[in-house]
Amino acid sequence: MSQRVEEAKKILLGNRKNGYTLPTNNKLYPAQWNWDSAFIALGYSYFNLDYALEELETLLAGQWDDGMVPHILFHDNDTTYFPNHKTWKCGKNIPSSGITQPPVIASILKIILENHQLNEGQNTRVVQILKKIKKYHDWFIKFRDPKKTGLISILHPWESGYDNSPIWDKPMSNISVDKELNYQRRDLEVSNSEERPLKKDYDRYITIRDQFKEANYDPNKLYDISVFNVVDVGFNSIFLKANKDLLEISKKYDLDFQNLHEFISLNENRLLGLFSKENNNFLSQDLKTKNNLNIPSITNYFSLFADLNNQELNKKLIENLKSHNSNEKYFFSSIDPKHETFNEKRYWRGPVWINCNWLVYQGLKNKDKEYSELLKNKTMELIEEKGFHEYYSCKSGNVMGANNFSWSAALYLDLALEK
Ligand code: DGY
């Protein structure tokens, strides 16, 4: 056990640039990604707390005036990625994309703070970080739930982080793509096409992005005009937990974030309402068509991470989780292999992702100790056997996507060294 700890540290340091860390050392992702950075910060916290705080500070330095923290920050003007800052054209001091990603930063910070005694200078830095996270969460509440329903929307599949998940198949099928669309993908130059999203996915990603660009990324407009508007179970679960964690940390720092209470309880109630007794699982919602989206995605189990106040439901979720990968040696696959949309290799349509295992593990720890230990051991064993990759086959453990993958290294450090 833990035999790859030193290697994991080296991967993070090897991918580190000026104050932030690339998701990998190959050319697939040459910038700073939002949720990658948060996971990476947790990894650093086990051997360099200042790097951990700096990672978060650099990410939050890219926060827009309205509060949004972009999904990508292009610090060094690299244009080998598509879509790079020149095609997003957001016009910010730190060039960025014009959408966001799952807000895991507050939950990561809470773990870091629990593990460390901070000095005065570090505490001062944490206060600044917390204020920015609060502004980020307020942005979600204001602009991604303008009708005050208690559930927040994502307006682009890239915002979920699970880009080509089958959850988006139906909503994406309603998007009509401009025949003149003209762009050049770069991901296929450095990765295997059968492990990446399809052309039809990219056509739609760019169509939505162009719509946002046309509207100048005005957050007051995007919720209504976006051709894609989905209330996702996984994303709302992450946000609910993040708000609970932010509120708890704020008390220790004497910050008055009390107004979060109201959203938290509404969010929790509405999220519980997305559980379908009939289907015995959670359903996401396509707000454009008012259809439910019933896909057995591991991201639905981020609801365990949210620590829902309903023990009966949590028990049922764990029971279901145990059958998600009943026949596979490696788990968890992003999509249940028994489902028709499952694809062993294609990005978020089947492969095992370390961050998903980690989020589910966090949710299991206080609910089913034995199963959480099994998940932890299986996740560590997969990495110890195969190395630090972006994703893995649930059937063979074969590695896919980028190698020297930062969040796989960072989360391995947390699993191996957690207190
Ligand atoms: C990519 O380029 O595949 C990223 O996932 C988009 O955020």
Give the residue extent of every domain in the chain: 2-417
What pLDDT was estimated at residue 419? 86
What pLDDT was estimated at residue 194? 98
Q: Which of 51-60, 177-186, 199-208 has the lowest mean pLDDT?
A: 177-186
Going by alpha carbons, the residue nearest to atom 7 of ligand 1 is 158
Q: Which atom of ligand 1 is nearest to the CA of 97?
A: 7
pLDDT digits (tens, 9 = 90+) for 47-100: 999 999 999 999 999 999 999 999 999 999 889 999 999 999 999 999 999 999
Which residue from 26, 101, 163, 165 has its CB within 8 A of the most atoms of ligand 1, so it is best to mutate?
163
Mean pLDDT of the chain: 97
% residues pLDDT > 70 (the chain): 100
Among 145, 232, 390, 414, the one annotated catalytic: 390
Neighbours of 369 (CB within 10 A): 10
Going by alpha carbons, the residue nearest to atom 4 of ligand 1 is 158
Burial of 307: CB neighbours in 10 Å, binned 0-12, 13-18, 19+: middle
Q: Which atom of ligand 1 is nearest to the CA of 82?
A: 2
| Alpha helix (H) residue ranges in 325-405 | 354-365, 369-386
Give distance in angstroms: CA of 254 to centre of ligand 1: 37
The pLDDT of 148-166, averaged and rounded, is 99
Give distance in angstroms: CA of 299 to centre of ligand 1: 17
Q: Per-residue confidence at 3, pLDDT binned at 50, 70, 90?
A: confident
Residues with CB under 6 A from ligand 1: 71, 158, 163, 187
Give distance in angstroms: CA of 99 to centre of ligand 1: 12
Among 55, 163, 368, 414, the one annotated catalytic: 163
- Decide: 264 and 244 in contact? Cβ < 8 Å: yes
What pLDDT was estimated at residue 378? 97
| b/e code 77-99 from CB counts within 10 Å (16+ = b) | eeeebbbbbebbebebebbbbbb
DSSP symbols for 133-147: HHHHHHHHHHHS-TT
Using DSSP, state whether 259 is helix, strand or coil.
Answer: coil
List of residues 6+ apart from 114 with CB closer than 8 A: 419
Is 50 an annotated catalytic residue?
no
Tell me the CA distances in angstroms from 94 to 51, 98, 131, 209, 265, one per residue in order: 20, 12, 19, 19, 35
Q: How far apart are CA 258 and CA 260, in angstroms?
A: 5
Going by alpha carbons, the residue nearest to atom 2 of ligand 1 is 29
- Angle (CA) 309-336-29 rounded to 5° is 90
Tell me the CA distances in angstroms from 292 to 54, 278, 313, one per residue in order: 40, 13, 20
The dihedral region occupied by 103, where left means phi > 0, alpha psi between -120 and 50, and beta the remainder, is beta
Is 163 an annotated catalytic residue?
yes
The pLDDT of 256-274, averaged and rounded, is 97
User: Which CATH number is correct for 2-417, 1.10.10.60, 3.40.50.10540, 3.40.630.30, 1.50.10.10?
Assistant: 1.50.10.10
